[in-house]
């Protein structure tokens, strides 16, 4: 059993606090950006556009992630306290909302530059597990999105939450949605199993959603939402929708002439 008593603030400069969660976003974006430019992008036109695209992607992540959290997870609270929608430093971001935001931003940027949207979405999909990994580690440090009670030897006691031994569900997600997903997608790319532009994006949706559904069985649901249909969490239900979309789009692209 491990006792988690980490400080969510990484360091402070005068009165300015730098939190692990913010640093995780920055690290994920920077490493993903460099990885795409140095390892993935072969076309000079896409390389020239990529720096500008990153600005769109960042806005999509932040705006989409926040709006997604408001709509999916805490609509009633923010309906009554609309000004707090802007207080992103207090936490509250939805991965699925950020995903929708990136899709919209990629589509807008691609249309403006007359490029296939899936080119950028494939790049995002191949590098996104890097950011997901850092994000889940930050969740663990922050003692948020914690797991269900357990007595397994690797259980964690989150001091900021309670005195109960719990699954480190954030680390399960970091491993599956970050490390495993990253190497699976690289393997698929290297072996050319996804032959058409866009299929990598579809497989990202399918695999991420599958891993998210599995790991949420070990994660405590949001207390104000609880379990829903068939004793599933909201995250699992949303992931099931995205998994279905990914599968349908994959086979549509595969059979497209």
pLDDT tens per residue across span 137-184:
999 999 999 999 999 999 999 999 999 999 999 999 999 999 999 999
Position 154 scores a pLDDT of 96
Position 89 scores a pLDDT of 67
Position 82 scores a pLDDT of 85
Position 250 scores a pLDDT of 93
Q: What is the mean pLDDT of residues 227-254?
A: 93
Position 15 scores a pLDDT of 82
Statement: residue 257 has pLDDT above 80: no
Position 226 scores a pLDDT of 87
Instruction: Give just the sign of the alpha carbon dihedral 238, 231, 131, 196.
Output: negative
Statement: residue 24 has pLDDT above 80: yes
**How does pLDDT run across 37-68, given as a tens digit for each residue?**
999 999 999 999 999 999 999 999 999 999 99
Residues contacting residue 30 through CB under 8 Å, at least 6 positions apart: none
Q: For residue 15, what is the enclosing H or E element?
A: none
Q: How confident is the model at residue 14 (pLDDT cuts 50, 70, 90)?
A: confident
**Closest to 42 (Cα-Cα) out of 111, 108, 121, 123:** 123
Q: Give, in order, the Cα–Cα distances in Å from 38 to each of 29, 33, 41, 93, 139.
A: 14, 9, 7, 29, 29
The tokens for 193 are 């199993």
For residues 125 and 221, what is the distance between their CA atoms, to the nearest angstrom? 26
For the packed helices 117-141 and 44-73, what is the interaxial angle rounded to 10 degrees? 50
Portion of the chain with pLDDT greater than 70, in percent: 98
Q: What is the mean pLDDT of residues 84-91?
A: 75
Beta bridge partner(s), residue 147:
219
Statement: residue 109 has pLDDT above 90: yes
Position 90 scores a pLDDT of 66
Position 76 scores a pLDDT of 83
**Which residue ranges make up each domain of the chain?**
2-255
Pairing relationship of beta strands 156-158 and 165-166 according to DSSP bridges: antiparallel
**In terms of C-beta density within 10 A (0-12 exposed, 13-18 middle, 19 or more buried), how is residue 132 classed?**
buried
pLDDT: which is higher, 78 or 210: 210
Q: What is the average pLDDT value for the chain, to the nearest integer?
A: 92
For residues 174 and 129, what is the distance between their CA atoms, to the nearest angstrom? 9
């Amino acid at each position: 059993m491990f006792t988690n008593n980490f400080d969510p603030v990484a360091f402070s400069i005068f009165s300015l606090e730098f939190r692990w969660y913010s640093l995780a976003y920055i690290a994920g974006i920077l490493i993903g950006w460099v990885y795409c430019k140095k390892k993935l992008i072969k076309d000079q036109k896409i390389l020239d556009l990529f720096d500008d695209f990153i600005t769109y992607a960042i806005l999509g992540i932040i705006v989409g992630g926040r709006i997604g959290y408001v709509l999916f997870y805490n609509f009633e609270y923010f309906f009554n306290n609309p000004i707090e929608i802007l207080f992103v430093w207090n936490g509250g971001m939805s991965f699925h909302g950020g995903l929708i935001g990136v899709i919209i931003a990629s589509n807008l940027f691609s249309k403006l530059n007359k490029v296939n949207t899936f080119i950028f979405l494939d790049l995002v999909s191949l590098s996104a597990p890097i950011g997901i990994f850092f994000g889940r580690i930050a969740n663990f440090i922050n003692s948020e999105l914690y797991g269900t009670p357990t007595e397994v030897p690797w259980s964690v006691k989150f001091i900021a939450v309670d005195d109960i031994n719990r699954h480190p569900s954030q680390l399960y997600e970091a491993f599956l949605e970050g490390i495993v997903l990253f190497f699976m997608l690289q393997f698929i790319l290297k072996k050319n199993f996804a032959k058409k532009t866009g299929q990598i994006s579809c497989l990202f949706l399918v695999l991420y959603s599958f891993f998210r559904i599995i790991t949420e069985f070990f994660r405590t649901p949001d207390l104000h939402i609880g379990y829903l249909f068939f004793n599933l969490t909201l995250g699992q239900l949303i992931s099931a929708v995205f998994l279905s979309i990914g599968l349908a789009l994959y086979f549509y692209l595969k059979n497209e002439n």
